[in-house]
Structure 1
Amino acid sequence: MTDLDQRVPTDRLAPVRTALRRAAPALLAYAGVRALGLAVLAVWSAANGKSAHQLLTARWDSLWYTRVADFGYGWEVRLPDGGVHSNLAFFPLLPWLERAVSAVSPLSYADAGLVVAWLASLAAALGIFLISERLHGRRAGICAVALWAVLPVGIVQSMAYSESLFTALAAWALYAVLRERWVWAGLFASLAGLTRPVGAAVVAAVWVAAVAFFVRERRAPWRMVLGVVLAPLGAAAYVLWVGQRTGGGLFGYLDVQAQWGNGFDGGLAFAQFIGEKLTSFPSALAGVGLIVGVALVIWLYVLCVRRGQPLPLLVYCGIVVALALCASGYFGSKPRLLLPAFPLLLPLAVALARLRNSRSAAVLGTVAVASAVYGAFWLNGSGPP
């Protein structure tokens, strides 16, 4: 028997099991926070005579995704003012997954979307943990996941929306970039580009990382070139398809978004919206809250820059924040549009990790309860448009 015959086969799943063991406390904390949010939502909704299940699966954007899964593209709603809302505004990966899960299970498209979102949120939590652990250690990784879970609009992570799916793909693309796994980074970026328009942020992160690698190493490995080529394919394919379908060419998708009232004006409309809030009481309190929220986001991003966060994360997070704050429509959506900007949480995670376990647990527990109550209140009220 040769030495080759005596070799023990490599356990390719060993790194996965090791990562899951390291991440287990973070994933358990995440699941606990989300379970608390769902429990409070169920009680609150029942008290108001509403269905928590319907709020999670069959309102707002979730309805549009299930209609894409059910009927395909072409569904439109004509508004009283003559405007048109087309389901072409919604990228296809979530509806595709809803259709796939429903095809192999007894679940409806709506429930399939909920399953996809819940599984994707766990995948996102794992990706956030691995990035944070790599940069700042295991305790910071656990805190970063917990902070992402307890965000005020964290309930969206448990809805049949695309935020969890997109955040998972973005986090894994960025983790692959940090490890210089270029092909995986390109694949995840391409899938992110099939999930939400902000997938462009993931593509930019991959490209910037590749350029930085080339400048530093003076070489371009074929895997890196392939990853760079793969990264934009998802978003480009859908945008070009929409342009061909609508006859709008390269700008067809932008025309569809314009019909929804979405655009990019550098934040002018949002600033005017805040200004209007400040002109009367009690709406002035909401205006002040918005100003504080925007200032907090900008302050956290500046902290990320000053503390030397890796360039791909800064590029990704900067684009997500810019697109969220500087879009001209749906001002109530801005908090949930910022959900994928998890690198903003890393400075807070590092600070929280320095506390004693009892203190950090007390802080996170208190915020988790507040987040659960706010999420239930929010969904039973205006909710995410």
Structure 2
Amino acid sequence: MTDPGTRVAPYGPAALRRAAPALLGYAAVRALGLLVLAGWSGARDKSAYTLLTARWDALWYTRVAELGYGYEVRLPNGDVHSNLAFFPLLPWLERLLHALTPLSYGAAGFVVSLGASLAAAWGIFAVADRVYGRRVGVCAVLVWAVLPVGIVQSMAYSESLFTALAAWSLYAVLTGRWVTAGLLASLAGLTRPVGLAVVAAVWAAGVVSFVRERGAARGAGARPDDSAPRPPSPPARPREGARGGASRAARAAGLLLAPTGAAGYVLWVGHRTGKGPLGYLDVQAGWRNGFDGGLAFARFVGAKFTPGPSGPALPSVLAGVALTAGVAALIWLYVVCVRRRQPLPLLVHTGVVLALALCASSYFGSKPRLLMPAFPLLFPPAQALAALAARRPVRAAVIVGGVAVASAVYGAWWLNGSGPP
């Protein structure tokens, strides 16, 4: 990996040419998914456009964009679903695009999602290319594109926007652009509650950088024998010192900027609800969302194996086995990432996303899409795919194509059925 202090242009014609295979492959996979969804929905007299822009969370976001905050639904059991649970960046962008174009709020959300998904693909490529090289970067984007719930990347949801901000913030950290990293982390914190993962990654990298810098300075100033005469001091180099000071100031600014988005929105919600700094937790509690260390999810999985009057149903047992295997695979992939010494900010980001997704107490069906921003987990499979492509490119292409078709079919079936909660 290149020295994090080395400045590498992340954009421009040369960078776009380097990322072009990844972006074209990603666009092809997403186009396939949308075409299959359109055909499947049309055969069932449903609107694929409505499924993408005006169902589930997409509808809540467009209501925030159109009406602002304050809308809520009171359920018969006493739960209160408030739109204050939804962070504001996506609705702000929907409102802006609606004001500048003839697009409806839902269509604006769809356009934002499409653009953000391409930006996310480019960011994932940039991070993987930085750490492992171009071939792995292309494969990482393709693996992200063909995830079973990849259709969410094309919905008027906030996953693509958040992943784009997270990926480019992590890339900025890896390349020493601290102010950019902090600004993007702040915007990620205005997008989803899991923005805390990006903030934690920026802070972990910044703190370690400061500690290493202090250790290097102490090591440079130590002498084995204090009684020995000091060598003559070299002439001062003010320019390098100024650059070092500027770098430290930029790092400190980035660390200070990173939490401002999430903290600002959470404090605003607390002020608006009159419940103080923790008011946002009460809003989430109205949706039966919370953090219980994974106990509720464990009970949910365990219930799949619980015998009924005539024993557990086979579909339920198979679902339980699949859930258990999925969680085990996620943990195994994270361990592989640690053993392969992924950069610290990637490990911190992924670890926090995993913890928040797996340890939340409700909406278990949404966990697969909540895990999409944990894209560094896909780097080990991307490395394996890249190695296969180097030896047997046709076989690698067939595998990716087959998985892309399966993902497209699953996405169409899913959205025309239960869909993402």
TM-score with structure 1 setting the length: 0.96
Aligned length: 374
Partner of 1:258: 285
Among 230, 234, 237, the alignment partner of 2:257 is 230
Quick check: 1:361 aligned with 2:397? yes
Partner of 2:107: 111
**Shift of the alpha carbon at 1:106?**
0.4
| Superposition map of 1:294-333 within 5 A | 294-333=327-366
SS at match of 2:101: coil
Quick check: 1:120 aligned with 2:116? yes
SS at match of 1:50: coil
| Superposition map of 1:52-201 within 5 A | 52-201=48-197
Change (3 A) 1:285 1:180: same
Change (3 A) 1:211 1:301: same
Quick check: 1:337 aligned with 2:370? yes
**Shift of the alpha carbon at 1:15?**
4.8
**Shift of the alpha carbon at 1:52?**
0.3
Q: What is the rounded CA distance, in whole Å, between the counterparts of 1:13 and 1:174 in structure 2?
A: 15
| Superposition map of 1:257-296 within 5 A | 257-279=284-306, 280-281=312-313, 282-296=315-329
Quick check: 1:243 aligned with 2:266? no
1:276-331 Cα deviation digits (max 9, x unpaired): 11232121111111111111111100000000000000000000011000000000
Task: Point out 4+ residue stretches in structure 1 off by more than 6 angstroms.
Answer: none
Q: What is the rounded CA distance, in whole Å, between the counterparts of 2:420 and 2:363 in structure 1?
A: 9
1:21-42 Cα deviation digits (max 9, x unpaired): 0000000000000000000001
RMSD: 1.2
**Shift of the alpha carbon at 1:80?**
1.0
SS at match of 2:289: coil
Among 28, 38, 47, the alignment partner of 2:34 is 38
1:76-128 Cα deviation digits (max 9, x unpaired): 00101122100000000000000000111000000000000000000000000
Unaligned segments of structure 1, at least 5 residues:
1-11
Q: What is the rounded CA distance, in whole Å, between the counterparts of 1:363 and 1:225 in structure 2?
A: 45
Change (3 A) 1:250 1:374: same
Partner of 2:205: 209
Conserved 8 A contact 2:10-2:126: no
**Shift of the alpha carbon at 1:14?**
9.5
* Matched AA of 1:235: A
SS at match of 1:354: helix
Q: What is the rounded CA distance, in whole Å, between the counterparts of 2:95 and 2:376 in structure 1?
A: 32
Q: What is the rounded CA distance, in whole Å, between the counterparts of 2:160 and 2:76 in structure 1?
A: 33
**Shift of the alpha carbon at 1:13?**
8.6
1:41-72 Cα deviation digits (max 9, x unpaired): 01111111111000000000000000000000
* Matched AA of 2:374: A
Q: What is the rounded CA distance, in whole Å, between the counterparts of 2:50 and 2:157 in structure 1?
A: 13
Conserved 8 A contact 2:9-2:15: no
* Matched AA of 1:376: A
**Shift of the alpha carbon at 1:226?**
0.4
Percent identical among aligned pairs is 72
**Shift of the alpha carbon at 1:171?**
0.2
Partner of 2:236: none
* Matched AA of 1:371: S
SS at match of 1:85: strand
TM-score with structure 2 setting the length: 0.88
Q: What is the rounded CA distance, in whole Å, between the counterparts of 1:243 and 1:268 in structure 2?
A: 27
Unaligned segments of structure 2, at least 5 residues:
1-7, 215-243, 307-311
1:254-279 Cα deviation digits (max 9, x unpaired): 00001100000111100100111123
Conserved 8 A contact 2:267-2:276: yes
SS at match of 2:81: strand
* Matched AA of 1:232: P
